Amino acid sequence: MQAYYFKSLPSTNDKAMELAHQLTTPEFSYVVAEEQTNGRGRNGNSWSSASGAGLYMSMILRPELPMELLPQLTLVAGVAMCEALNALPVLAGNNVGIKWPNDILLNGRKLAGILCEASLQGDSKAVIVGIGLNVKASQEQLPARVIYPATSLLIELGEASVKAIDTATLAETFAVSLKQRFLRYYSTHEIVSDWSKYDLLVDTQIKIDTPDAGVVEGVAAGITSAGELVIVDAAGDKQIITAGSIIK
Ligand code: BTN
């Protein structure tokens, strides 16, 4: 896998997109930056990306998949991240999980996020999978979040455990796990059962603010094969949620 390292970039997703449109850049190449000056999160949020405080990386995919199988790539990335994180010696005994659709939580707090972006330019089709992991960030360097507050490996595990973490090695570990998982998904088209092992919301009461149906409340009941969230409301009816933010 080809890796591109930068000291500073506006956003690794933007650089990966630029490289993806040079058709000679192989699939699974990835971009890592020590800092981002315009790190982007989901829903138009920014992603706090101070120098040396986190891992900021983006991988280039060129999936030959039908359109309806593309949205699940973000779930695949979530599973790959959880697997790689759970295998880290520093995290032994501290299980990470996923809050739908793709927030990676540790001890109920948000440790990492995934931003997938697709792009079509002439003959070049690419999906960029951007990963942000808070490694050595202090609480002051992270945004204040009311629900599922942001955290880092430093905050959760302490200085002694994170001292030895090297972001380039971490990036390689994630890249291997991501590539394996994407290749498997390209051939099986199946991710829901593995994703469900990391589902932190299942069987819990939640409230979600959705763009089309307003606030929906009920018990989370897993995801559909298309990666939508299923909620059983007070009347016992199933509600399928395609997008939204959990507010409780
Ligand atoms: C989220 O909002 O949870 C997704 C955050 C994704 C952040 C990463 S950091 C590397 C890549 N480059 C960006 O600008 N964003 C993603």
Clarify whether residues 162 and 76 are in a common domain.
Answer: yes
Helix ranges (DSSP H) in the chain: 12-20, 73-86, 153-157, 159-162, 167-188, 192-196
147 Cβ neighbours under 8 A, 6+ residues apart = 246, 247, 248
- Residue 78 structure tokens: 């979530």
pLDDT tens digit string along 3-31?
999 999 999 999 999 999 998 999 999 99
Q: What are phi and psi of 52, to 5 degrees?
A: 75, 0
Residue 211 domain boundaries: 205-246
Clarify whether residues 163 and 89 are in a common domain.
Answer: yes
Give mean pLDDT, residues 67-78: 94
CATH of the domain at 225: 2.30.30
At residue 117, what is the residue type?
Answer: E
Whether 191 and 185 have beta carbons less than 8 Å apart is answered as yes
Lowest mean pLDDT among 81-85, 89-93, 155-159: 89-93
- pLDDT at position 13 is 98
Whether 59 and 128 have beta carbons less than 8 Å apart is answered as yes
The residue whose CA has the least distance to atom 11 of ligand 1 is 130
Clarify whether residues 113 and 147 are in a common domain.
Answer: yes
Clarify whether residues 172 and 234 are in a common domain.
Answer: no
In order of 5, 53, 127, the CA distances from 116 in angstroms are 20, 22, 7
Work out which ligand 1 atom sits closest to the CA atom of 36. 14
Clarify whether residues 39 and 121 are in a common domain.
Answer: yes
Clarify whether residues 210 and 188 are in a common domain.
Answer: no
Check whether 124 has a pLDDT greater than 90.
no
Clarify whether residues 128 and 239 are in a common domain.
Answer: no
Clarify whether residues 56 and 135 are in a common domain.
Answer: yes
User: Ligand 1 center to residue 46 CA distance, Å?
Assistant: 8
- pLDDT at position 92 is 85
Domain count, the chain: 2
Q: Which of 40, 13, 38, 45 is nearest to 245 (CA)?
A: 45
Check whether 155 has a pLDDT greater than 90.
yes
Clarify whether residues 191 and 211 are in a common domain.
Answer: no
Clarify whether residues 131 and 241 are in a common domain.
Answer: no
As a whole number of Å, the CA-based R_g of the chain is: 18
CATH of the domain at 118: 3.30.930.10
Clarify whether residues 162 and 82 are in a common domain.
Answer: yes
Round to whole Å and give the CA distance between 58 and 114: 9
Clarify whether residues 215 and 171 are in a common domain.
Answer: no
- pLDDT at position 248 is 81
pLDDT tens digit string along 36-66?
999 999 988 999 999 989 999 999 999 999 9
Which long-range contacts (C-beta less than 8 Å, at least 24 apart) are formed by 94-101? 94/156, 94/157, 96/198, 97/198, 97/199, 97/200, 98/195, 98/198, 98/199, 98/200, 99/148, 99/200, 99/201, 99/246, 100/199, 100/201, 100/220, 100/223, 100/229, 100/246, 101/74, 101/75, 101/227, 101/229
The predicted model scores a pTM of: 0.94
Q: Which of 115, 142, 245 to mutate to test the pocket of ligand 1 (most atoms within 8 A of CB)?
A: 115
Q: Which of 36, 42, 96 is nearest to 74 (CA)?
A: 42
Confidence of residue 134 (pLDDT cuts 50, 70, 90): very high
Check whether 122 has a pLDDT greater than 80.
no
**Whether the CB of 174 sits within 6 Å of ligand 1:** no
Q: Which of 32, 40, 135 to mutate to test the pocket of ligand 1 (most atoms within 8 A of CB)?
A: 40
User: Sheet holding 3-9: strands in order across?
Assistant: 3-9, 30-36, 54-61, 124-134, 109-121, 103-106, 96-99
